[in-house]
Amino acid sequence: MNTADILIIIAIIAALVLAVLKIVKNKRQGKSSCGCDCSKCGKCDKGTGYLSH
């Protein structure tokens, strides 16, 4: 395994970790990751009973 291999492995792992973190962050913020119109939708009822109606 040469230096280039090590650097590539680090880069791939870093990219994957960042991707997972982004998904988790979006989920926590109530955003979806469907690539559509929902990144702005809020996706939560914030306790107003919205969904129960």
Partner 1 sequence: MTLKELQIGSPAVITNVGGEGALRQHFLDMGVIPGARVKIIKYAPMGDPMELKIHGYQLTLRLDDAAKIDVTPADEYEDDKPEPSRKSKKSHPGLGETGKSHPEENSKPLPDGTLLTFALVGNQNCGKTTLFNQLTGSNQHVGNFPGVTVDRKDGAIKGHPDTLVTDLPGIYSMSPYSSEEIVSRNFVLNDKPRAVINIVDATNIERNLYLTMQLLEMDVPMVVAINMMDELTANGGTIDINEMEELLGVPVVPISAAKNQGIHELIEHAIHVAHYQERPLRHDFCEENDHGGAVHRSLHGIRHLIEDHAREAGIPLHFAASKLVEGDELIISQLALDDNEKEMIEHIVLQMETERGLDRSASIADMRYSFIHKVTGLCVKKPRKSKESIRSAKIDRILTGKWTAIPLFVLIMGLVFYLTFDVIGGTLQGLLENLIGTLSDITDKALTSGGVNPVLHGLIIDGIFAGLGSVLSFLPIIVTLFLFLSLLEDSGYIARVAFFMDKLLRKIGLSGRSIVPMLIGFGCTVPAVMSTRTLPSERDRKMTILLTPFMSCTAKLPIYAFFVDAFFPKNKALIMVGLYFLGILTGIIVAFLFRGTIFKGEAVPFVMELPNYRLPGVKNVALLLWEKAKDFLQKAFTIILIATVVIWLLQSFDTRFDLVSDQQDSMLAIIAGWITPVMKPIGLGDWRIVTSLISGVMAKESVVSTLEILFGQEVSLVMSKACAASLLVFSLLYTPCVAAIASIRRELGRKWAALVVLWQCTIAWIAALIVFQIASLI
CB neighbours of 21 closer than 8 A, spacing ≥ 6?
Answer: none
Q: For partner 1, how many residues bind (rule: CB under 8 A)?
A: 31
Site string for partner 1, 13-52 (x = CB under 8 A): --xx--xx-xx--------xxxxxxxxxxxx--x-xxxx-
Distances (CA, A) of 18 to 2, 8, 24, 33: 25, 15, 10, 14
- Least distance (Å) between residue 21 CB and partner 1: 9
As a whole number of angstroms, the distance between CA 16 and CA 30 comes to 21
Residues that bind partner 1 (CB under 8 A): 1-2, 4-5, 8-9, 12, 15-16, 19-20, 22-23, 32-43, 46, 48-51, 53
